[in-house]
Amino acid sequence: MTQGPLPIAKGLRCRCPRCGRGALFKGFLSLRARCDACGLDYGFVDAGDGPAVFVILFAGFVVVFAALITEVLYQPPYWVHAVLWLPLILIVTILPLRPVKGLLIALQYHHKAAEGRLERRGES
């Protein structure tokens, strides 16, 4: 039996990875110190540049593919490309950034991910 929503749903909703009720963020991308509902300390979180990398890869694929198809089919002037793709770039990069960061934090909590440590063998 599972307790509450799955980690993916909690992360995409930007909720606490443990209880799914408390808010994860206090600003657009800045984390709270702890969960308001269950008190989970968010000190373990280290999302790094992961969310930005995933969003950039996705956005780059979408925008470049759409721009290439538009260029091949219609050959519009450059100003049309600017009018079409600049707003799309903003939409496909800024909107998913927060949910992707929440998702990576929830998965980090769920899998108990931590900083790598070397195991020392053979020491007495």
Evaluate whether residue 2 is within a structural domain.
Answer: no
In the beta sheet, which residues pair with residue 31? 25
Q: Is the pLDDT of residue 21 over 50?
A: yes
Evaluate whether residue 72 is within a structural domain.
Answer: yes
Tens-digit pLDDT profile for residues 76-110: 999 999 999 999 999 999 999 999 999 999 999 99
Evaluate whether residue 115 is within a structural domain.
Answer: no
Evaluate whether residue 26 is within a structural domain.
Answer: yes
Backbone CA torsion sign across 86, 89, 90, 92: positive
Backbone CA torsion sign across 108, 113, 115, 116: negative
Evaluate whether residue 39 is within a structural domain.
Answer: yes
Which pLDDT belongs to residue 57? Answer: 97
Q: Is the pLDDT of residue 54 over 60?
A: yes
User: Could you report how far apart the first and last alpha carbons of the chain are, in Å?
Assistant: 43
Evaluate whether residue 60 is within a structural domain.
Answer: yes
Evaluate whether residue 82 is within a structural domain.
Answer: yes
> 80: domain range?
7-110
Evaluate whether residue 61 is within a structural domain.
Answer: yes
Q: pTM of the full predicted structure?
A: 0.86
